[in-house]
Amino acid sequence: AQKITQTQPGMFVQEKEAVTLDCTYDTSDQSYGLFWYKQPSSGEMIFLIYQGSYDEQNATEGRYSLNFQKARKSANLVISASQLGDSAMYFCAMRKNTGNQFYFGTGTSLTVIP
Amino acid sequence: DTGVSQDPRHKITKRGQNVTFRCDPISEHNRLYWYRQTLGQGPEFLTYFQNEAQLEKSRLLSDRFSAERPKGSFSTLEIQRTEQGDSAMYLCASSFSQSVYEQYFGPGTRLTVT
């Protein structure tokens, strides 16, 4: 069974600072994708960034980067230059390339302090 | 195109009643997913359609749940004989089969069973 672990239920960061949200995963598959989603208080899930298991470079999308360490099975999200609008729940997810299910972690609540 | 839409946004029902939710995916997306999200948890996969075919269904989904996607366009999720444990946010997402990356989520339907 696939499992996603997010050990930080809540995080605080000062505006303009960087923050790292942790994610570890457990799978026996060799081919999979890792995702991060943002869920503001409005409830809609917003895709942020994707990392393929065979990608050698860490994924980056604007202020978001994914610190992928395959041997440690970790896929941490780094948000640089935090903004007040970054305050939200953040979910790590995994999808096996042989299937269609997405497996989500329990999320981390990020609060950006002015 | 305005993205994935779901209707209704909120539903309150009495235990034992049947409810039906609708999801309209992004028009060119042939993949459609249903998830359930309870408070403090990440989305939990329920079922997946490719066009009109229901290809995957969670083992956690009881027989009281049924989903359809006639003609490969909109989808409905029906819950029969609702129970208080069914209270949750029901999320729909869609994606294009040529993209291995993100799913696009709708705003969700919040179900409260009294």
Do residues A98 and A31 lie in contact, with contact meaning Cβ atoms separated by under 8 Å? yes
| Chain B touched by A101 (CB under 8 Å) | yes
In degrees, rounded to 5, the angle at the alpha carbon of residue B64 between the alpha carbons of residues B58 and B65 is 45
Distance between B73 CA and the closest CA of chain A, angstroms: 18
pLDDT at position B1 is 53
pLDDT tens profile A2-27: 689 999 999 999 999 999 999 999 99
pLDDT-above-90 percentage for chain A: 81
Closest CA to B56 of B33, B90, B79: B33
Cα separation, B113 vs B16, in Å, equals 9
| Amino acid code (one letter) for B51 | N
B33 C-beta neighbours (distance < 10 Å), count: 24
Position A70 confidence tier, pLDDT thresholds 50, 70, 90: very high
Q: For A35, which of B58, B91, B102 is closest by C-beta distance?
A: B102
Is the pLDDT score of A97 beyond 70?
yes
pLDDT tens profile B26-57: 988 899 999 999 988 999 999 999 999 998 88
Interface test with B, best of A6, A31, A100 (most B CBs within 10 A): A100
Cα separation, A96 vs B4, in Å, equals 23
pLDDT tens profile B75-113: 999 999 999 999 999 999 998 876 666 789 999 999 999
Q: What are phi and psi of A37, to 5 degrees?
A: -125, 150
Supply the mean pLDDT for chain A. Answer: 93
Q: For B103, which of A43, A102, A106 is closest by C-beta distance?
A: A102
Do residues A68 and A55 lie in contact, with contact meaning Cβ atoms separated by under 8 Å? yes
pLDDT at position B98 is 61
Contacts of A27 (CB under 8 A, 6+ apart): A2, A3, A73, A94, A96
Are residues A47 and B103, on separate chains, in Cβ contact within 8 Å? yes
pLDDT at position A75 is 97
Write the DSSP symbol of residue B15. T
Is the pLDDT score of B60 beyond 90?
no
**B42 chain-A contacts, CB cut-off 8 A:** 4, 91, 93, 104-107
Cα separation, B51 vs A36, in Å, equals 26
Report the residue of chain A nearest B93, measured CA to CA.
A45
Cis amide bond preceding B8, omega within 30: yes
Contacts of B72 (CB under 8 A, 6+ apart): B30, B49, B51, B52
Alpha carbon B74 to chain centroid distance?
Answer: 11
| Chain B touched by A100 (CB under 8 Å) | yes
| Chain A touched by B45 (CB under 8 Å) | yes
Position A86 confidence tier, pLDDT thresholds 50, 70, 90: very high
Interface test with A, best of B23, B103, B110, B111 (most A CBs within 10 A): B103
